[in-house]
């Protein structure tokens, strides 16, 4: 069957914002309200979480295991298994540098080889949050004397290596529900089955750019 030239791809296409205001200032992110000109469709007002974006990291060892952390998430009143992750809250910091920092801070790990695994919006109808998930390989442990001192919710953060197939099974059973874990694990499984040929460079264009 011949292709008709169609490519399934989202497209950056911002509409004119007539007015904007911050209706709530939070400790981590704000809620903004925009008046938007939709052209023939008229004007609408939309409130949304103004989020700086985030990165998550699937650290994969030679045994086919990924490193997951266990963290309390108060909005859902649950302790969740997640890949190491963090906000893009350091001005001017590159995505990969942010990922390396979070891997160091949350997992006491470093990686020599980095690729982009997948990008996604967490809730595009109500939040500007976008997450880049990296695949990190050639892993080494941070020496004890050089490890980051974790605080707040991260103070009692635990972690462990888990076989990817066990992660996939937990997802299908409904035992885990963290979005970066679900999206990243399925993407990692697909990349593994394709012999890693579909991996993108660590500095690949990002959906928010």
The full set of domain ranges for the chain reads 1-50, 54-201
pLDDT at 28: 84
pLDDT at 154: 63
What is the length of the chain?
Answer: 209
Question: Catalytic annotation on 105?
Answer: no
| Among 141, 154, 166, 209, the one annotated catalytic | 154
Dihedral sign for Cα 105, 107, 111, 115, please. Answer: negative
CATH topology of domain 54-201: Nucleoside Triphosphate Pyrophosphohydrolase (3.90.79)
3-state helix vs strand vs coil in the chain, percent to 5: 25, 40, 35
Q: What is the value of pTM for the model shown?
A: 0.91
pLDDT at 158: 86
Taking the chain (209 residues) in runs of 10, the rounded mean pLDDT of each run is 79 94 92 95 95 97 97 92 95 95 94 98 95 98 76 74 98 97 98 97 91
The H or E element that residue 78 is part of is strand 78-82
Which 8-state DSSP code applies to residue 108?
A: S
**DSSP of 49-62, one letter per residue?**
EE---EEEEEEB-T
pLDDT at 88: 94
Question: What is the rounded distance in angstroms from the CA atom of residue 138 to the CA atom of residue 192?
Answer: 16
Q: Specify whether the CB–CB gap between 137 and 60 falls below 8 A.
A: yes
pLDDT at 144: 76
C-alpha dihedral over 91, 96, 101, 105, to 10 degrees? 130
């Amino acid at each position: 069957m011949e292709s008709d030239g169609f490519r399934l791809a989202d497209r950056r296409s911002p509409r004119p914002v007539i007015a904007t205001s911050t209706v709530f200032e939070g400790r981590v992110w704000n809620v903004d309200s925009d008046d938007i000109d939709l052209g023939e469709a008229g004007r609408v007002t939309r409130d949304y979480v103004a989020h700086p974006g985030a990165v998550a990291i699937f650290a994969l060892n030679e045994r086919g295991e990924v490193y997951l952390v266990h963290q309390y998430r108060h909005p859902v009143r649950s302790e969740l298994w997640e890949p190491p992750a963090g906000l893009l809250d350091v001005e001017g910091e590159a995505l990969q540098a942010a990922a390396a920092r979070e891997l160091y801070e949350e997992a006491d790990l470093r990686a020599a080889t980095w690729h982009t695994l997948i990008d996604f919006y967490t809730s595009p109808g109500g939040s500007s949050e976008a997450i880049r998930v990296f695949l990190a390989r050639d892993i080494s442990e941070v020496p004890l004397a050089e490890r980051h001192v974790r605080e707040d919710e991260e103070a009692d953060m635990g972690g462990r290596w888990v076989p990817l197939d066990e992660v996939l099974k937990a997802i299908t059973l409904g035992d885990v529900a963290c979005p970066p874990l679900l999206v990243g694990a399925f993407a990692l499984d697909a990349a593994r089955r394709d012999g890693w040929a579909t991996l993108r460079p660590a500095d690949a264009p990002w959906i928010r750019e």
